[in-house]
Structure 1
């Protein structure tokens, strides 16, 4: 009898979940390309899990913390970065949706200034919350006697996602100029920059040109996608195989690191600033993303799956901005219990890897709390209760989307 009483609420919850998912599915325009949202969701999950797996905050006596990476102590884990470094997919989807959005805005008579102001306000409004919180937190930490190196470490991790927004904002502003730019042009810039600084001993600062040129490659690929130039599967296979082969050659014979993210202490980082290897690897990722469009469209026909993807897209900026804070909050709080494996210990063996995997659910829970507290900055305030939930459009500006979203929480 007790089991029956327990099962009834669970059954009711499942029915409610299915009904809600069905409403979201029914409210989605029939002509919406759900694969775009699915690719964005995969990209955001890749970034979050990648950071959680390769970022370690090691207790440095007392309550001090310093950054470390398992990729430095366990270099054979480099393939993890191949799976979870998904930034090229962000820029591919961003370029695709921005160019389509700009064309749509022009057709409606919207001026460039109105279009850009709308997009950038959606992009940066959620940033105010995290900047305010970390300004206050840093001041309190310093006043409490926390050493400045620890505060600097925490701030650097918490605010590191902002570089992406700055680059993306610059490319967004330049969208009208990039509508017809061929991806080979920025790729040629990256190639020549690397040849000059690595092959001819040029200044290291020159590499920062690739921050724009490197991410311009997938962004302009997204524009080409909007023009219908990447619809054939052959384009995806060319990008995937060509990008993968060139990246392998650069790693094997040209001295580029195997890791596609930065490793503390390494002489060269593939990501800061982007190298030719990071860009060719991104081309392979873009090719795979294009090949996955068909399977993803079929998968997104399932209401439950689509509802989850739609919700994640509506929360993409919040998740992106706060995932590092969730990791740090868990780590700092855990110091009260001592130096815990996988949380405060040096990431130099498989025991750390296993322990870190066990911490992921708690990181997720803390991130969910951050989402609850700060999602209004991205999604807007809750609407009055009693009105049905509907997702009409969900294109978060953080990942280059049109952000024409209406969502009742």
Structure 2
């Protein structure tokens, strides 16, 4: 039980830091003509790039995801489930809330365009509401590859993450030194896949059986990161900064790989005392709701920024000291408090919708023994392509609706949904037990 609680804690902790980090670095400025612009804090105040060392927490997402997925797939496999049935359930749990979120945002963009909102404002809003989407196609692809990755784990164990890391370094050389186009896309799977694969190793005790290994990982990762930043070509920022080349996130770099290893090692080092803390029911009652609402918080956490922008910046009520000044930093506290209150309201309002999606999921999730799976694979391919496009260009590129990605996401999600809906009504449906797990 303590291990499961710690994995859930990692999700909650990561979500909290993602939300806090995005809110903290968001800068809004009201121009003399009334327009709202969003200068880039990390570029405007360069020293703030050091803050990304604390707020770049995505390695924990993939580490916890690998831990959960490894256990889920192992149980499903032992019960006779197919890869398609297992993946369909995990993908649908992710795509249902993403589809509803995307539909509502696209509707709002369409209404705004019809009402005459200027293209620059729509593009900024569309970008803000899609900035977190890069995670979704990567996670879906790693989920699709889980049976293969877990088979490699069973065959070669702790040797797989170093091999993937070495491949990622080769790709990084091709990107940074040779400027080979498109090859960097592989590092999204290789670098984040290292964290995911380490989750398998962690679950099976391969990282905790040797007392010094977590310390070596943490110290070695930090040392490698420092060397790559000070002696190599990489910046300190672990979040994309406009104009920086190479960066550390687009695609994930060798420096990001070092940070993945460092965070995984630190996670293992602090696990025992944190697990003891989580055994206290009062602590667990605080952590559990955050973990349960992780997808809602992840998807909707930029909506409060738009609400605050309309309430305080469009009206001219917000004080606007110089960005990065002492007064500006002092105002970050009430800014964060306002956004937190609004987000709590958003989560409350969305409660009935979330419960409805839960019912829909139970009625339409694919059977664990699903075999006729081509609609599922086609639907996943379409959603990955659509989400990737939205992550890059936002929900309103150049102030216009992204019709092709919207259609791809809609049709792809429908194919995944209909796969389970059809299987649920097919005579002679497989008696393989349904496997429930979290994304």
Pairwise TM-score range, normalised by the shorter structure: 0.7 to 0.9
- Which ranges in structure 2 are unaligned for 5 or more consecutive residues? 154-159, 360-434
Instruction: Mark the CA change 1:364 to 1:205 in structure 2 (over 3 Å): closer, same or farther.
Output: same
8 A contact 2:30–2:36 mirrored in 1: yes
Structure 2 counterpart of 1:106: 77
Deviation per CA, 1:86-121: give whole Å up to 9, x if none: 000000000111011001112223222221111111
Distance in 2 between residues matched to 1:171 and 1:56, nearest whole Å = 33
2:340 corresponds to 1:361: no
8 A contact 1:125–1:378 mirrored in 2: no
2:201 corresponds to 1:224: yes
Deviation at 1:362, TM superposition (A): 0.8
| More divergent stretch after superposition (181-190 vs 241-250) | 181-190
Deviation per CA, 1:113-150: give whole Å up to 9, x if none: 22111111111111122112211211222223222122
Structure 2 counterpart of 1:93: 64
8 A contact 1:315–1:379 mirrored in 2: no
Deviation per CA, 1:210-238: give whole Å up to 9, x if none: 12212111011111112220114422111
Structure 2 counterpart of 1:203: 180
Structure 2 counterpart of 1:214: 191
Deviation at 1:63, TM superposition (A): 4.4
Deviation per CA, 1:46-89: give whole Å up to 9, x if none: 11111111122333444433332222122222231111110000
Deviation per CA, 1:172-191: give whole Å up to 9, x if none: 11101101251112211221
- Which ranges in structure 1 are unaligned for 5 or more consecutive residues? 1-29, 384-401
The match for 2:145 among 166, 174, 177 is 174
8 A contact 1:236–1:288 mirrored in 2: yes
2:206 corresponds to 1:235: no
Instruction: Mark the CA change 1:355 to 1:31 in structure 2 (over 3 Å): closer, same or farther.
Output: closer
Structure 2 counterpart of 1:297: 275
Moved over 4 A (4+): 376-383
Instruction: Mark the CA change 1:121 to 1:267 in structure 2 (over 3 Å): closer, same or farther.
Output: same
8 A contact 1:88–1:286 mirrored in 2: yes
Structure 2 counterpart of 1:121: 92
Structure 2 counterpart of 1:75: 46
Deviation at 1:243, TM superposition (A): 0.5
Instruction: Mark the CA change 1:31 to 1:108 in structure 2 (over 3 Å): closer, same or farther.
Output: farther
Instruction: Mark the CA change 1:205 to 1:63 in structure 2 (over 3 Å): closer, same or farther.
Output: farther
8 A contact 1:244–1:284 mirrored in 2: yes
Distance in 2 between residues matched to 1:63 and 1:263, nearest whole Å = 26
SS in 2 for 1:162: coil
Instruction: Mark the CA change 1:271 to 1:171 in structure 2 (over 3 Å): closer, same or farther.
Output: same
Deviation per CA, 1:246-277: give whole Å up to 9, x if none: 00001101121111111233333211221111
| More divergent stretch after superposition (206-215 vs 285-294) | 206-215
State TM-score, norm by structure 2: 0.76
Structure 1 counterpart of 2:300: 322
The match for 1:250 among 228, 234, 239 is 228
Instruction: Mark the CA change 1:187 to 1:32 in structure 2 (over 3 Å): closer, same or farther.
Output: closer
State TM-score, norm by structure 1: 0.81
Distance in 2 between residues matched to 1:233 and 1:156, nearest whole Å = 45
Structure 1 counterpart of 2:258: 280
8 A contact 1:239–1:286 mirrored in 2: yes
8 A contact 2:90–2:437 mirrored in 1: no
Paired residues for 1:41-60 under 5 Å: 41-60=12-31
Distance in 2 between residues matched to 1:107 and 1:73, nearest whole Å = 54
8 A contact 1:92–1:221 mirrored in 2: yes
Deviation at 1:194, TM superposition (A): 1.9
Paired residues for 1:309-348 under 5 Å: 309-338=287-316, 340-341=318-319, 347-348=323-324
Structure 1 counterpart of 2:347: 371
Distance in 1 between residues matched to 2:322 and 2:123, nearest whole Å = 19
Deviation at 1:203, TM superposition (A): 3.1
SS in 2 for 1:330: helix
| More divergent stretch after superposition (208-217 vs 53-62) | 53-62
Structure 1 vs Structure 2 CA RMSD: 2.2
| More divergent stretch after superposition (296-305 vs 177-186) | 177-186
